[in-house]
Each structure stands twice: as structure tokens, then as C-alpha cells.
Amino acid sequence: QVQLVQSGAEVKKPGASVKVSCKASGYTFSTYAMHWVRQAPGQRLEWMGWINAGNGNTKYSQKFQGRVTITRDTSASTAYMELSSLRSEDTAVYYCARDYEPLRLGLSNALDIWGQGTMVTVSS
Amino acid sequence: SYELTQPPSVSVSPGQTARITCSGDALPKQYAYWYQQKPGQAPVLVIYKDSERPSGIPERFSGSSSGTTVTLTISGVQAEDEADYYCQSTDTIGTYEVFGGGTKLTIL
């Protein structure tokens, strides 16, 4: 079945970087876009950006521009999200989520398959 | 920055109809999506493109749109529907995605 499996929890110090992976299975990885969304404890979901898994093109939320980098490795069917200059406010669960429509039909922005989430804690 | 506004909470009795609204200036031009999230779990897409239901989502979940407000309707609410519900849409010029603040649905 289609699933996304993310890397394990991370604890980082302020100023450090974190890189979260998201391994896809059950479908052709390069034919869908992958989004990243985060959720701080007790807070709303927050969209960070997406990557065209076929050609590697990306778009980022203005809030994270300059601090976030989303990449992919098609040979490993894996997407990555790296966030730098971490601060305590970045403590959150980070999710990858697949776009609902295949890329050939255009980006839908509906997120139909989600990873299990990766808890990132930023603390000195 | 663009915002989507949801009521913080909605309460209904089992078997009744729950309606959760989401307001945003760009909603007449942009599709809305709805997610159900239970504690400790990842969100689940329940409605896309305002009113379409993904496969596997019960028919009691429906969506509608009118002007700057979209509505998620759950008919014949069941205990298992108790969860947080988030709307999502795109800003006016289609540059970024935004989520609403979430609505906690309580089954009395």
C-alpha cells in the first residue's frame, strides 16, 4: 500500500540544523509532489513548502524562505526537509505529505497521504 | 498575510448534523480542503476541491462553498468523528498554502 515513513525524533540545540527524511513506497515516487507541514504543540498545521519529485523544483513558504531546503533522491524514493538556524519556536512535529494528484494533472495542494510525523525538539 | 478563520469548537449529539465553517477572502477563487486529525495522529484528508470526497471517506462527510465561506458538514455524527478539523486553502495569487486554526468537534 502507499505509505510514507519518516525518520525518528530529533533533539537539537538552538542554532543547529535538522534534516528529516521521508521514504515513499507503493507508488512511483517521481510522479507526485511532496509537501512538508509542521505542527507545534497545541497549534495549527503550518505549510512549509513542496517539491516536484520529478524535476526537483521547489516552492517555500515565505515564513521559512532562507532557512528551509527541501530535496529528494529519486533512486531512494525519499524526500528530505532541512531546517537551519533552529530556535525554540521550531519545536514541532514535522510531516511529509503527498499531493493528491499526480504531477501530470497539475498540483492539487490536497494532501492525501501523510507520514507518521517526526518530533523535533529544540532546546539548550 | 492571508488567514483562514474557523470557530474554535463545535458540539453536537450523536446522530445530529455538525457544520464547521471556514472563512477567507480568497475562497471564492481558491479551492478548500478539509482534514480530520485525532490526538497523536497525522491528519486525514476528508474533502478536497471544496466538495469532493476521497475514496474511503464515509458519505456522511460533505463540503460546500458560498462566497468567502466554505463549510464541512458531517451528517449523522458518530462518536468516532470526535476530532480536530482543519481547513486549508491557497492565498489569493496562489503562492502559498494556509491552514485554518482548527475546530474541535465534541460529540456530547
- B3 pLDDT above the threshold of 90: yes
Please provide the size of chain A in residues.
124
On whether any CB of chain B is under 8 Å from the CB of A44, the answer is yes
Mean pLDDT of B73-89: 97
Give tens-digit pLDDT for B43-55: 999 999 999 999 9
Name the residue type at position A4.
L
- Return the ∠ at Cα B95 (arms to A19 and B27), rounded to 5°: 120
- B78 pLDDT above the threshold of 90: yes
Instruction: Please give the share of chain B, as a percent, with pLDDT higher than 70.
Output: 100
Do A81 and A4 form a contact (C-beta atoms < 8 A)? no
**What average pLDDT does the structure give for chain B?**
96
Q: Taking CB atoms and an 8 Å cutoff, what residues of chain B touch A110?
A: 31, 33, 45, 48-49, 88
**What average pLDDT does the structure give for chain A?**
96
Cell of B44: 486525514
Contact between chains at A116 and B98 (C-beta distance less than 8 A): no
Residue B95: predicted pLDDT: 83
Q: What are phi and psi of A103, to 5 degrees?
A: -55, -30
Buried b (16+ CB within 10 A) or exposed e, A8-25: eebebeeeeebebbbbbe
Interface of A with B in 77-96 (CB under 8 A): 95
Mean pLDDT of A78-105: 96
Mean pLDDT of B55-69: 97
Bridge partners of A119, per DSSP, are: A93
Residue A76: predicted pLDDT: 98
List the single range of A21-30, B36-45, B85-94 with lowest mean pLDDT. Answer: B85-94
Q: Taking CB atoms and an 8 Å cutoff, what residues of chain A touch B97?
A: 35, 47, 61, 109
Name the residue type at position A66.
G
Instruction: Please give the share of chain A, as a percent, with pLDDT higher than 70.
Output: 100
Residue among B31, B45, B88 minimizing CB distance to A112? B45
Give the Cα separation of A34 and B72 in Å (integer). 25
Give tens-digit pLDDT for A17-69: 999 999 999 999 999 999 999 999 999 999 999 999 999 999 999 999 899 99
